[in-house]
Structure 1
């Protein structure tokens, strides 16, 4: 079945290069997309989704790194040839390619899911983040275009791509880190970051896993899971939060000093340290896994249908009251495999787990971490949240208009 699909054109050289739509003039120049940290991270999640889709269909894009590199391009082009996608879309993700992916995948498309999540973050997508492209996703893209004063045709070309990244940076700002940003090379002369490969990355992954983090496979490729684990480690150690492994990270890995989970609490449990934006998963065998999280940002926001709520995450001792596997539609977005611990507040998966509090009150973890966590946490498992800054209220101190949300 043919559908009108957005053209998400992923540049072939780097994450910050331009997009061009397949319906644009072949001679039109490509326009550079501005370097925006949080927005670029969102694009990396979208590319990771494409890589996951290709892997499921037996087209090897290499590791899920979030970088549209040569191997990913080759895998995409092979898929397009096998699916008889028009040559005009070769190496790009356009409408025919999206239709072919959706028709062949056994489940939801991860690239569409990531796109929907990014559109949710900027407040223009109100549908279910289900990985199925439809009119609601198309209308969200048009909303971005209208906000930028562009023709609302639903296609992402150079101007729309740049407008989206500006809007994302505005709606999901990257706060100034409390410490110096890691920009120095490591001992080998290269900063380890998304897309880095080699023995140094393997050693980094092995060390993170030994310390209780989830860096993905020990395969020597700095993928999205590796960046998330590094980000959690940086939060735990009080380092600048950028998801890259430079000298400060390498030194701290050799001798970490960040506090672990608190003693004397129920086992098993999920323990959320709001001040540091990490969670400890303590299982019955006393093993501890540390996850990157993003909690409520404390801001007042408008809710669908009118009125306002406050994006607070409550502190205190709770238990998992109910759990839902898969995607659940909520008024503000879609919660992936949510573990509800207090009214509408939940620990749930999301495609967007930045370095700072960004949710409407829930505790976000990555979708991959949510899938890992879900079967390990039965109903009535303890959930403990605390905030050493003292800024997060308990249930009785929540504003009357506070509510859990995406």
Structure 2
């Protein structure tokens, strides 16, 4: 049993190490719905956030309290009132919100204070600091509806939050804000988390929600044929949002998506919608390549680029397994160092998941694409096509008429993308001299004209 565990644990731990390095020193704003806490998920969420913080991530935790406030209202015999997707906060609702927030802060601080032996919290020291970081203003009257003590974020004390994070504490925020005259306003967790993420220019905004993410077809019900869109470019997210009706409930597709789009447009690089129903969804999203929810990302954050000397180690690590099984011809570190400028790489969250080299033969107005490699973790996600397109663009920019590849195993993939098989005699003379007749590689060409 222990041997089997070792064989699974060691490769897994090595696979998450790049993400641990990438996220160290970064800042995450995590919005947790009150529904997650009502569903009994607080303990596991606290453990996961404590673990993430222990790996060098600065965390701002914003909690919601919709069901808790409604429970307080029911106990008072008072009805919850909503309009335009927002709570109308009268005096009774404001009192209920303050009571719910106080109870929740107590429960959250207690969850982060546990340190029993043989639990994930053993040995952890999580200092939680909260404060009046939010200045608010009233929502006012909309379409004749007076929202009373419901408010909107006017200003975030970004420097105060940053100083607290630098101190090594986790910042805990309730969805409350205060006016300069000391008047309290009930805010939404989603707006507070988004405003804070934008103000401190967080690296990630993460919502732990009732929904599993954004479906590839938002109009179809949940099914295997309608999976979660794990990476949603900002432009596509904008178009989807424009086609959806204004959200009224948290389960509406646009409800969390609108905040992710707003944050992304304001410079927050990655914005996530995760299901709290899946145990460990935070860890799965942050430390596993495919993730588990939807990430809205600004496509201008180019992950496809030409390689630099800093990428040599990543390229070697990527191609080594394919060299061992004979898919690729073995290349030495010296050779890759010498030719690194010829490589195109694709990366996700700072980790290289694909590469290809382009070797020009100017006299024949063609170039060889070599060492095209995509990590097994991201195959079938279009990375190979993106690299091929970029390499083709480089070859065209050099004035070449075609590119060619030599392969023993992946000829069908290239044929589907416009390559045709030719005899080795087609190769430029300089390349023909290096052709390995024993390997019997197929030669495939893609012509641009």
Relative contact order, higher structure (CA 8 A, sep 6+): 1
Normalising by structure 2, what TM-score? Answer: 0.25
Normalising by structure 1, what TM-score? Answer: 0.27
In terms of fraction of residues, the more strand-rich structure is 2
In terms of fraction of residues, the more helix-rich structure is 2
Structure exhibiting the larger radius of gyration computed from Cα positions:
2
